[in-house]
């Protein structure tokens, strides 16, 4: 688990660097462009967050357009996570629904979530923003365009609550 977390951090950081992204909110269109992905908003059923399709010439991410923007961003980050981690899948397709967390795909889902957090809330961006903004949840989630839960988990995981209180 440790190895995969730091691997995802490096992968996210190198993508941010290559896309010339230096501050929040992370521009996911730039990441998509760099990786050659089309992002397609689609009215999926509510339980489906999105899907990713990769085949030789085609890279596409479908995202549930009825979900809040913050969740859509998280879903896109998560799908990038499957791609950069080289997860194997049937029919070149990942369909995201809750069942994936309760079967043999669990580990891959955790990994994709880790990548999404590293990409959407990079630790070094957050560190410098905490110095100017402080632990102001409202401002932080507005700046990063993430859910309060995602920001909370990030602050907790990085032990930033203790450091910047």
Can you give the binding site for Zn ion, defined by CB under 5 A?
96, 109, 112
Report which of 135, 54, 153 is spatially closest to residue 95, judged by C-alpha positions. 54
Q: How far is the CB of 3 from Zn ion (least distance, A)?
A: 20
Residue among 96 and 118 whose Cβ is closer to Zn ion: 96
Residue among 69 and 93 whose Cβ is closer to Zn ion: 93
Q: How far is the CB of 75 from Zn ion (least distance, A)?
A: 9
Residue among 50 and 143 whose Cβ is closer to Zn ion: 50
Residue among 35 and 133 whose Cβ is closer to Zn ion: 35
Angle of CA points 52, 156, 68, to nearest 5°: 40
Q: How far is the CB of 109 from Zn ion (least distance, A)?
A: 5
CA distance 1 to 25: 27
Report which of 93, 76, 62, 87 is spatially closest to residue 29, judged by C-alpha positions. 76
- Report the residue closest to Zn ion, judged by CB: 112
CA dihedral for 77, 80, 84, 90, sign (positive or negative): positive
Q: How far is the CB of 162 from Zn ion (least distance, A)?
A: 31
């Amino acid at each position: 688990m440790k190895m995969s977390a730091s691997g995802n951090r490096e992968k996210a950081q190198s993508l941010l660097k290559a896309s010339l992204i230096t501050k929040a909110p992370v521009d996911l269109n730039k990441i998509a462009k760099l990786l050659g992905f089309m992002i397609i908003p689609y009215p999926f059923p509510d339980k489906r967050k999105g899907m990713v399709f990769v085949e030789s010439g085609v890279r596409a991410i479908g995202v549930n357009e009825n979900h809040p923007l913050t969740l859509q961003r998280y879903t896109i980050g998560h799908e990038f996570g499957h791609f950069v981690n080289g997860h194997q899948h049937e029919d070149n397709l990942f369909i995201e629904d809750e069942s994936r967390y309760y079967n043999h795909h669990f580990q891959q889902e955790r990994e994709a979530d880790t990548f999404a957090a590293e990409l959407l809330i990079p630790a070094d961006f957050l560190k410098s923003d905490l110095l100017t903004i402080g632990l102001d949840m409202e401002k932080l989630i507005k700046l990063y365009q993430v859910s309060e839960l995602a920001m909370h988990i990030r602050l907790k995981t990085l032990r930033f609550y203790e450091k910047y209180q």
